[in-house]
Structure 1
Amino acid sequence: MMEGRKVSLAGSGPPLCPGSLHGQVGWKELRSDVTPGPSWEGEGSRACARNQEGGTNPAAAGATSGEERLRIQGSGRARRWIQRIQGSGRARRWVQRIQGSGRARRWVQRIRSRVRLTGRPEEEPAGPGRGQPEPAPPVPPFFSLARPGPAQPGPAARGAASSSPAAAMSGPGAALALLLLLLALPLPGLLQARPRYEPTWGSLDARPLPAWFDEAKFGVFIHWGVFSVPSFGSEWFWWYWQKEKREPYVKFMDTNYPPGFSYEDFGPLFTAEFFDANQWTDILKASGAKYVVLTSKHHEGFTLWGSKYSWNWNAVDVGPKRDLVAELATSVRNRTDLHFGLYHSLFEWFNPLFLEDATNAFKTRKFPTSKSLPELYEIVTKYQPEIIWSDGDGNAPDTYWNSTGFLAWLYNDSPVRDTVVTNDRWGAGSICAHGGFYTCSDRYNPGHLLPRKWESCVSVDRGSWGYRRDARLPDYLAVEDLVQQLAETVSCGGNLLMNIGPTHDGRIPVVFEERLRQVGAWLKVNGEAIYGTKPWRAQNDTLTPGVWYTFSPEEGKVNAIFLNWPVSGILELGEPQPKLGETQVKLAGYKELLKWVALGEKGMVIALPQLTPQQMPCQWGWTLQLTDVN
């Protein structure tokens, strides 16, 4: 995380040893090999498809042309058929059940991407200049049935699966796939061309945020990397030790490591031998979170996947010798309905290419074109994350990063274009101004409604986002603090992203696991007041402190989350306007209706049930559900 710091990098930094960042590979070698090959969605992607063994160019394999597709969709008979299907109550309920399944959502998403890749009229690729998408890694062949992950089928497997796109989508399976796709898409989406976004903030900011993100409300952030090895002070260990030379960090290294020990020497010690993706996934599921965001690369530049653009400084070549991103992504998608997202740092503290660009006042763009942007295209096409959580602009403007060009590709042509959400950290000046949802600053909490969707990211460890061995018990947020953060954030229209830091050997420390499971237990009782809610007309109560409101639109319920159980057993609320003989009050997790008395035209006094601690529906905050209130 950036911690709101202004970092000055130009012409600064510690002395660099040859090959220090990437093992024995020198930077001259790296810089000569990092230019991405032609892989943008024009000639590059078509050439890639032609070159696959046993594969062919989708456009030449009998795929439906854009004109033919529009002609079919535009026929009156087809429209009436779709309307009859969509108008059937039985069909609607069946489709809702299918759409509620995470597995079905991902399957339909893959079908949509294949239809797009084969049915869209061909377009000329955009150039790689500023304001245009950079060359992207090859889009996987559309007939590949592999889940997002590191391994794609080999040539033999691809040839066995299908000799052409047309064959891959033929037979009874094609009919069912087409029916699901037609039902899952609203009729206007079939008959009208999808809007395309220009590489400008005005166009990109107008893109509607996919609905799932606002409905999710709660996610888990995971900060994991080489900084987990020293696990001292902060995930900014390298910067504080070698750039700012803070005394505690220098002393720590002098005391515990031999002279000449470099930060790169921590790489092989990042072992992850206890990392069990399924165990992590089960803990994430128990937390009640609806999405997870993993740091694929922090400011140190070490990637948790085997990036082609980070030789000998990634988890496949150094340390675990495993694709950690792929393992967690696969497990999350196979075992839960959580949405999988990736954090990615734009800049790297001590990368010579970035330092050279910074010295040139960012008038040269060697680093983003050869390192940062290719990595972004790589993780999107390879792992298909539904959240891109960008960070770390290094004080460089968004034009240096070509952020608008990348986002235009992401929203228009990427395999996750329909579901992906992005944040606001895309260059100096973009935070809290441009992007999908706003984060504004670390631990952001405005305390009031904002005109745009926002997210508050809060670390369970008050002092660090990564794991640190020197943390003390008071440094950790209690579950009461987390429940309060969640209630306040959701009542003001935000999402809460709760951060944990695993150890270098791949364990989620028990204090983090406990907090995750405690929040999950609270959500089992009070989840109706969180998931899928909207802000009410009042965010907090004007009479009793510590009461936060949300609104459940489908049930028409007002949820009053109160954090302190009154000793008197009487709770006064100043905001609701009850209706005599109609308003009902219920305590979440308790069966009986509660008695209440109106306080004039506005406000009410509610008699809470007399319960022992063992009878309480939960221990750290409670929800009153009010129906039929003005």
Structure 2
Amino acid sequence: MKRRQLLKQMGAAIPAVALSGVARAADAIAQAGPGPIAAGPFSPEWSSLEQYRTPDWFRDAKFGIWAHWGPQCEPESGDWYGRAMYEEGGDAYRNHLRKYGHPSRFGFKDVIHQWKAERWDPDALVAFYKKAGARYFVALANHHDNFDLYASRHQPEWNSTRVGPRKDLIAGWSRAARANGLRFGVSVHAAHAWTWYETAQGADKNGPLAGVPYDGNLTRADGKGLWWDGLDPQGLYAQRHPLSKADGDGGVNHEQWHWGGGAAIPDQAYCDKFYKRTRELIDTHDPDLVYYDDTVLPLWPFSDVGLRLAAHMYNRSIATKGKLGAVVNGKILNAQQRRALVLDVERGQLNQIEPLPWQTCTCIGSWHYDRRVYDNNAYKSARTVVHILIDVVSKNGNLLLSVPVRGDGTIDEKEHAIVEEVGHWMARNSEGIYDTRPWAVFGEGPAMREAPAMSGAGFNEGKTKPFTAADIRFTAKGKAVYAFLMGWPENGEVVIESMRSGGPHLAKRVARVELLGSGRKLAFRQTAQGLRVTLPADKPALAYANALKII
């Protein structure tokens, strides 16, 4: 892509992102692109990618489960451990001192070495998730920790076949997903390692080891005689560069996440390596979905690597399958980018029916396994998961649910019980979830009257009123409308105002109402005030959400 074109696209991408240093990076990219893409109708430009159409398999699936699992699960201390363990005084730092020792002597590379995944059984886990109702399964391919969980020619030293489990985890997950008839996806997060690991360049400011550097700047020569003899830590940490501006926008949690705010901009070699690693992942494991944990796409807006990867995946899908069946998730998208990718909203929900399919991703606990969530009984309940699923599907979205995996490759018994209960609910009600589309309105009731504001990539989860029996969500399929009651009315009756006689949403009078999963026809009256339905006296076991099938 020519420099002028690249700069034009960068400037139009995200107005909030500071573009200092972008012109210099664009010069380098224009001179030396990261490599070829598959031949096909898509080129790495928004004007081409916006011709994308979301495949029906994704629109029909509605529910996926995600194994957000990697070496950061080994300490059982929560998300972003590989960064936070170098933040003096923080929870992860204190936990690291207790469990492993000082990060100048035992760094994240050493945590990876201890991670063995010795009880991992992908076939059993994926079969369990299928039984719970998942139609697609997503596995973490790498995180911001820059460690590839597959055999990687372009990350040959720091991948799970070389260090840690010594297994190709993505290959195992892929085989299990396909053996169970599920669509398979991968999540890719490693573009941010450049700035995310900058804490590893630091040192304590206080205490007996004040001023002793952490291990973020070690090189291959420093490993002589140690377990990592022959390995280059810079292949993992990528820290031989100046730090981002300390007086920037608050660091990697804010505008520096979007490569603005004084963020250190990765060099061309880093961008090229990321492209090659990710293209190899796509070509080798043939995922149906790639989730990028990035604003828009990886390394955007200063690099077109993400555009190339999206175009490559779309073209490859057409070439190998005869039609476009690929999904690429991106975050914080403008209108044009929304047409080119499938929007992902992290730990949050939209408050209207979206014309284009989208996805929310959330977790029943911490993104990486956290023993404290288990100890404090702080997981999301099955009720909460079901309510999120219904609400998202009513607005043309999918739910991707992460179930945290322990370092050894298992889920705990509390997680197992939650997923199992979701499966029981899906067995009764999934007809109103799978293969549906939004109805005329997504719902009614008090919870929808207070729409919580979105923040960046999402993060408005749990900020609205809890759902009650007064809240209803709708989906549609064929001639049927499904009205999900988000609780069981104590008086045994529900009035659906959106289905009143003479209202704008129904072309004909209601002919039949039944309680989904039971086959029981229910008594009803359609009046000018609404559709009044008398519910059975014996409420279902999982009464927190049940669907009325209305024809």
Range class of TM-score, shorter chain: 0.7 to 0.9
Letter in 1 for 2:348: Y
SS at match of 2:417: helix
Is 1:356 paired with 2:279? no
SS at match of 1:400: coil
Q: How many residues align?
A: 436
- Shift of the alpha carbon at 1:395? 9.2
Residue 15 of structure 1 is matched in structure 2 by none
Taking the aligned partners of 1:617 and 1:248, their CA distance within structure 2 comes to: 40
Is 1:590 paired with 2:513? no
1:399-437 Cα offsets, whole Å, 9 max, x none, are: 425211222222123546721100114x99899756421
392 and 582 in structure 1: CA distance in 2 versus 1, 3 angstrom threshold = closer
195 and 413 in structure 1: CA distance in 2 versus 1, 3 angstrom threshold = closer
Tell me the C-alpha RMSD between the 2 structures: 3.2
SS at match of 1:495: strand
Matches within 5 A, 1:45-444: 130=30, 134-135=34-35, 196-232=41-77, 234-242=78-86, 244-259=87-102, 260-334=105-179, 336-345=180-189, 346-348=191-193, 349-350=196-197, 353=238, 356=241, 362=265, 364-370=267-273, 372-392=274-294, 396-413=299-316, 415=320, 418-425=324-331, 433=338, 435-439=340-344, 441-444=345-348
Taking the aligned partners of 2:510 and 2:94, their CA distance within structure 1 comes to: 68
448 and 219 in structure 1: CA distance in 2 versus 1, 3 angstrom threshold = same
1:539-571 Cα offsets, whole Å, 9 max, x none, are: 112587321011112xx1010000211111111
Contact 2:74 / 2:115 at 8 angstroms: preserved in 1?
yes
Is 1:521 paired with 2:421? no
Residue 212 of structure 2 is matched in structure 1 by none
Letter in 1 for 2:546: W
Contact 2:52 / 2:339 at 8 angstroms: preserved in 1?
no
Residue 449 of structure 1 is matched in structure 2 by 353
> In the alignment, which of 349, 367, 370 is matched to residue 468 of structure 1?
370
Compute the TM-score of the two structures, normalised by the length of structure 2: 0.73
Taking the aligned partners of 2:421 and 2:310, their CA distance within structure 1 comes to: 37
Taking the aligned partners of 2:383 and 2:113, their CA distance within structure 1 comes to: 39
Taking the aligned partners of 1:132 and 1:319, their CA distance within structure 2 comes to: 34
Gaps (5+ residues) in structure 1?
A: 1-5, 11-127, 140-193
Taking the aligned partners of 1:131 and 1:548, their CA distance within structure 2 comes to: 53
407 and 358 in structure 1: CA distance in 2 versus 1, 3 angstrom threshold = farther
Taking the aligned partners of 2:438 and 2:241, their CA distance within structure 1 comes to: 47
Contact 1:227 / 1:237 at 8 angstroms: preserved in 2?
yes
> In the alignment, which of 542, 566, 570 is matched to residue 489 of structure 2?
566
1:125-180 Cα offsets, whole Å, 9 max, x none, are: xxx9659974369x9xxxxxxxxxxxxxxxxxxxxxxxxxxxxxxxxxxxxxxxxx
Taking the aligned partners of 2:48 and 2:31, their CA distance within structure 1 comes to: 12
- Shift of the alpha carbon at 1:361? 5.2
SS at match of 1:294: strand
Contact 1:132 / 1:402 at 8 angstroms: preserved in 2?
no
Residue 459 of structure 2 is matched in structure 1 by none
Taking the aligned partners of 2:515 and 2:120, their CA distance within structure 1 comes to: 40
SS at match of 2:414: helix
Residue 626 of structure 1 is matched in structure 2 by 550
Taking the aligned partners of 2:308 and 2:17, their CA distance within structure 1 comes to: 25
Taking the aligned partners of 1:344 and 1:499, their CA distance within structure 2 comes to: 15
1:332-387 Cα offsets, whole Å, 9 max, x none, are: 212x22100000112313356476398695384220102x1111111111110000
1:166-213 Cα offsets, whole Å, 9 max, x none, are: xxxxxxxxxxxxxxxxxxxxxxxxxxxx97122111220221111110
318 and 408 in structure 1: CA distance in 2 versus 1, 3 angstrom threshold = same
Contact 2:292 / 2:298 at 8 angstroms: preserved in 1?
no
1:568-603 Cα offsets, whole Å, 9 max, x none, are: 111111011459985210001223311111222x51
Taking the aligned partners of 1:398 and 1:493, their CA distance within structure 2 comes to: 28
Question: Higher mean Cα deviation, 321-330 or 359-368?
Answer: 359-368
SS at match of 1:586: strand
422 and 354 in structure 1: CA distance in 2 versus 1, 3 angstrom threshold = farther
1:57-105 Cα offsets, whole Å, 9 max, x none, are: xxxxxxxxxxxxxxxxxxxxxxxxxxxxxxxxxxxxxxxxxxxxxxxxx
505 and 431 in structure 1: CA distance in 2 versus 1, 3 angstrom threshold = farther
Taking the aligned partners of 2:360 and 2:439, their CA distance within structure 1 comes to: 19
SS at match of 1:388: strand
328 and 7 in structure 1: CA distance in 2 versus 1, 3 angstrom threshold = farther
Letter in 2 for 1:254: L
> In the alignment, which of 533, 536, 548 is matched to residue 609 of structure 1?
536
- Shift of the alpha carbon at 1:474? 4.0
Taking the aligned partners of 1:606 and 1:474, their CA distance within structure 2 comes to: 37
Contact 2:67 / 2:138 at 8 angstroms: preserved in 1?
yes
Taking the aligned partners of 2:357 and 2:473, their CA distance within structure 1 comes to: 18
**Between the two proteins, what is the percent identity of the paired residues?**
23
> In the alignment, which of 494, 502, 527 is matched to residue 599 of structure 1?
527
- Shift of the alpha carbon at 1:485? 0.3
Letter in 1 for 2:511: T
- Shift of the alpha carbon at 1:621? 1.2
1:264-301 Cα offsets, whole Å, 9 max, x none, are: 11112211111112111211111101101111100001
Taking the aligned partners of 1:135 and 1:542, their CA distance within structure 2 comes to: 52
Letter in 2 for 1:250: Y
Contact 1:459 / 1:498 at 8 angstroms: preserved in 2?
yes
Matches within 5 A, 1:478-489: 478-489=381-392
Residue 505 of structure 1 is matched in structure 2 by 408
136 and 284 in structure 1: CA distance in 2 versus 1, 3 angstrom threshold = farther
325 and 586 in structure 1: CA distance in 2 versus 1, 3 angstrom threshold = same
591 and 355 in structure 1: CA distance in 2 versus 1, 3 angstrom threshold = same
Contact 1:305 / 1:316 at 8 angstroms: preserved in 2?
yes
Compute the TM-score of the two structures, normalised by the length of structure 1: 0.64
489 and 216 in structure 1: CA distance in 2 versus 1, 3 angstrom threshold = same
Letter in 1 for 2:101: P
- Shift of the alpha carbon at 1:331? 1.7
Taking the aligned partners of 2:264 and 2:308, their CA distance within structure 1 comes to: 21
Taking the aligned partners of 1:7 and 1:231, their CA distance within structure 2 comes to: 34
Contact 1:357 / 1:363 at 8 angstroms: preserved in 2?
no
- Shift of the alpha carbon at 1:222? 1.2
